[in-house]
A = this chain, B = another copy of it.
Amino acid sequence: MTHDPIKRFRRFARSVTTEVGALDDSFLGRGRSLGAARVLNAIGHGRTDVAELRQYLNLDSGLLSRLLRQLEGEGLITVTPHPTDARARIAALTETGADEFAAYEDISDSRSRDLFDRHPHPQALLDAMDLIASALGRDRIRTEVQDPRAPQALFCLQEYYAELGRRFETGFDVNLSCDPQATDMMAPRGTFLVALSDDMPIGCVGIKGNGGPVAEVKRLWIAPSARGLGLAKRLMQQAEDAARALNITTLRLDTNSALPEALRLYQTTGWTEIPRFNDDPYPDHFFEKHLE
């Protein structure tokens, strides 16, 4: 009876809805409608263009306009013309606005901190949240090209190195491996793709090029919570497309038998195993793929 997945899912939905409702109620405690509070929060989180706000919050332009007027009237934000497009406008928090924003942040932070502080296994709780967020958000995963030194890209790389350290018997030291130059993984030589789920980085892959027709696939990583969703295949597909657009005709990669999922992926998506083509100490398998 109660082990019925649907009932358990419902219980989960109910408990989360209650939590969200309680958070909304405490937001209302600051004497502002939820709509206005949401706009203020989005601005505080760096969504400053009015157009971006409209899209992110999914608001009618008339409604957003009125909410902006209200926040402006309260002295919490200023709205100024966009520097390069005089039709568009940019919202910014005033000093009072920043204080008010911080107050909202405090409310939601203290709720989540309280949740983790009181729990016997906060790490398990976080992992559970990641797993569910990845599952619920799988159709909203988007990929963007990033500088490999950008914060979200760096996060992926660090997680990638940490994972190799756990998987390899010998551990993993980036300095012993040939760490690509960032510019080799940026246009026009290469590219670096980051997969985002609700703005959290959950995967990456790099194409390291040298301007010629042969390039390497590097740093393919998928967050544990997002594995099994077919994301690796999708990222590789996008990486190949990007390589084609850079006039690359042959891709190579190296990998290790301690990463069986990766080996299986390459074996089933048109890669052919080739002899060792570098002297990196870690890899023990090498693949190649000719692009159309």
Contact = CB atoms under 8 A, between A and B. Distances in A.
A140 interface: yes
A49 to B, nearest CB: 20
B200 A8 contact: yes
Interface string A10-21: 111111111110
Interface string A93-127: 00000000000000011001101101111101111
A228 B201 CA distance: 31
Interface residues of A, number: 57
A18 B137 contact: yes
Given A12-B129, A125-B131, A131-B124, A138 B118 contact: yes
A15 B152 CA distance: 19
Copy count, this protein chain: 2
A1 interface: yes
Contacts of A132: 12, 15-16, 125, 128-129, 132
A5 interface: yes
A119 B140 contact: no
Contacts of A129: 8-9, 11-12, 128, 132
Interface of A: 1-3, 5-20, 23, 108-109, 112-113, 115-116, 118-122, 124-133, 135-138, 140, 151-152, 155, 197-201, 227-229
